[in-house]
C-alpha cells in the first residue's frame, strides 16, 4: 500500500542542514521529488547530486526566505521541473536569543523576516498551485517556544507563537480546497540553530543544555513523514514533540 509520499513533489526551505536536510533525505527515499531551497547553494547542490546519484529526484534552488521573490522562484522552479507542488515545507528558521534590554534590533528584524515572513512567503507561493490542484499539504515550523516563553527568547517566541496562529488561520481557510496543514513544534534538536546566538554566554549555556538531551534531526523528519503519509482525509494539524529528557 502507498504511504502517500511516493510520487509527490515537495518543496523544502532550510534544506542545507539540520531538519530541512533530514526531511529532504527521508522524503526522497520514500519516493517524493524534492526541491531544495537554502542560501548555501553549494550545500544543497551537493545534497541534490547525492540524492540524484542514488536514483532519487532532487533539484537545488538558492533561496533566501526573507526575499519573497526568491521564495516564489523556488516554487516556480518546482512546478516547471516536476509539474506541480504537493507539499510546501517552511523549515528555514533562526534563533538568536538575547535579552530585550540588549536592543538587538537587527536580530529582531531578522527573526521576523525569516521565521514569520519567510513562512508567509512560502504559503503565498505554494497556495495558488494547491488551490488549482484542489490538493496539497503545507508544513510550518513553530517550536516548544511557540507554546511557552523562555528567558532571553521573547522575540523568538513571538515569531513561533505567530507561526502557530498563522497555521491555524490557514487551516480554517483552505478547507474548500482539500489542502492539509501541519505545524511542527520541536524541542531540543541537534541542528545549527544555536550557532545564530551572538551572545557568547547565552550560546554556550544553551549549547551545553541542548548537547545533553538533543534528539537528531531525523526525528523531525519522521514527524513530517508521519503527517504526510496519512490518507488524504486525515489532517494532522499540530505535532509538539521533545526529547524524553527535556523538562521544559
Cβ pair 240, 182 in contact under 8 A = no
Q: CA-to-CA distance for 108 and 91, rounded, in angstroms? A: 19
3-state secondary structure of 94: coil
Cβ pair 44, 20 in contact under 8 A = no
Output phi, psi for 240, to 5 deg: -110, 120
Q: Which one of the listed residues 121, 145, 156, 177 is annotated catalytic? A: 156
The verdict on whether 156 is a catalytic residue reads: yes
Residue with cell 534552488: 61
Q: CA-to-CA distance for 95 and 228, rounded, in angstroms? A: 26
The C-alpha torsion from 18 through 24 and 26 to 31, rounded to 10°, is 180
Which DSSP category does 113 fall into? I
Which DSSP category does 54 fall into? T
Catalytic residue list: 156
Amino acid at each position: 500500500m502507498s504511504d502517500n509520499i511516493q510520487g509527490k513533489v515537495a518543496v523544502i526551505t532550510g534544506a542545507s542542514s539540520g531538519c530541512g536536510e533530514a526531511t529532504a533525505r527521508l522524503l526522497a527515499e520514500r519516493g517524493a521529488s524534492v526541491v531544495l531551497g537554502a542560501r548555501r547553494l553549494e550545500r544543497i547542490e551537493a545534497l541534490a547530486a547525492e540524492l540524484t546519484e542514488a536514483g532519487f529526484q532532487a533539484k537545488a534552488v538558492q533561496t533566501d526566505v526573507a526575499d519573497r521573490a526568491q521564495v516564489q522562484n523556488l516554487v516556480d522552479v518546482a512546478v516547471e521541473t516536476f509539474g506541480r507542488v504537493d507539499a510546501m515545507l517552511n523549515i528555514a528558521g533562526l534563533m538568536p536569543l538575547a535579552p530585550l534590554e540588549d536592543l538587538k534590533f537587527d536580530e529582531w528584524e531578522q527573526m521576523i523576516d525569516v521565521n514569520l515572513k519567510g513562512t508567509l512567503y512560502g504559503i503565498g507561493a505554494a497556495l495558488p498551485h494547491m488551490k488549482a490542484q484542489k490538493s496539497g499539504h503545507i508544513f510550518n515550523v513553530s517550536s516548544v517556544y511557540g507554546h511557552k516563553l523562555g528567558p532571553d527568547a521573547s522575540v523568538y517566541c513571538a515569531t513561533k507563537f505567530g507561526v502557530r496562529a498563522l497555521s491555524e488561520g490557514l487551516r480554517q481557510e483552505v478547507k474548500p480546497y482539500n489542502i492539509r496543514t501541519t505545524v511542527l513544534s520541536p524541542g531540543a534538536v541537534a541542528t545549527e540553530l544555536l550557532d545564530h546566538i551572538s551572545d557568547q554566554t547565552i550560546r554556550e549555556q544553551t549549547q551545553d543544555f541542548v548537547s545533553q538531551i538533543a534528539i537528531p534531526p531525523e526525528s523531525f523528519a519522521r514527524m513530517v513523514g508521519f503527517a504526510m503519509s496519512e490518507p488524504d482525509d486525515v489532517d494532522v494539524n499540530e505535532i509538539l514533540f521533545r526529547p524524553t529528557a527535556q523538562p521544559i
